[in-house]
Amino acid sequence: MKKLTTLALFASFVLAPMAHAQEWADLTVQFVLDGDVPELKEPVTSADAFCAKQKIPSERLVVNKDNKGIANMVFMIDAKLTKLPAEKIHPSMRDVPAAHPVLDNVNCMFVPHVFHVRAGQTIDVKNSDQTGHNAKFVFFNNDEWNQVIPIGGTKSLTVKKAESGPSKVECNIHPWMSAYHVVTDHPYVGISDSNGMVKIEKLPAGMELTFKMWHEAQNKFDEVSVNGKSESWKKGNVKLTLKAGANELGKVSLKPDKFKP
């Protein structure tokens, strides 16, 4: 009898970690504009002969005219309100990626317009244009970085610390040029594509997560519509507990007055 009890206890210790193994979730959401797409003025580029030849649209609010999808929306875990110990980050995503995010200068615009960086990564800033640019990174927790990027050149900077929120990149030579970097110490950041779609993979399932949405032109993201139902997302935050596997939040609609002109 004692031997059987010992075996049963041994089995319970072996099986316990399996019973409580962390499961993982994927989340998709689409951000759309609920109203008319505002007309935005194109930048004046005549001061630079190369840039004057380019078709440069305003990137202040990019909306797909076919499905009203809003590009460049950031949807991410708010690290201030959700603590993520290492075991709550998927094993394949715990280490800082070795790959270098690239910010390029293309046709007198920064590409991409919004990008994510993990604290500890190195950003390569390129210039694919036939005119000189500079890139001024505004930081709160890291040292400011402002470098001239010559034609065909690349300069690199390592971002050591997470930032409190998205921050701006500017070209002082061409004042209409801007981009935004999102620096976090976790991998759970999504940026909407041209259809307003975001997908964040390998999130921890079964725990309450606070997500935050952000846009460069935001104006009080407190009221949204989710699949046609009005909801209050105070300061753009929403709490979600995801099930293992696929999770579809659906369509999050925002009125045009939620964006500054």
How much is the average pLDDT of 73-86? 96
Edge-to-edge order in the sheet of strand 154-158: 109-111, 102-106, 122-126, 154-158
The phi, psi pair for 91, rounded to 5°, reads -50, -35
pLDDT averaged over every residue in the chain: 92
Query: Which pLDDT score, from 0 to 100, does residue 7 have?
Result: 41
CA distance 67 to 57: 19
7-61 pLDDT per residue, tens: 444 444 444 445 579 999 999 999 999 999 888 888 999 999 999 999 999 999 9
> What radius of gyration do the chain's Cα atoms show?
22
CA distance 125 to 108: 14
Q: Is the omega angle on the peptide bond into residue 150 within 30 degrees of 0, that is, cis?
A: no
pTM, two decimals, is 0.90
Query: Which pLDDT score, from 0 to 100, does residue 212 have?
Result: 97
177-205 pLDDT per residue, tens: 999 999 999 999 999 999 999 999 999 99
CA distance 246 to 27: 6
Q: How confident is the model at residue 239 (pLDDT cuts 50, 70, 90)?
A: very high
- Domains of the chain (ranges; CATH) run 22-90+190-261 (2.60.40.10), 92-186 (2.60.40.420)
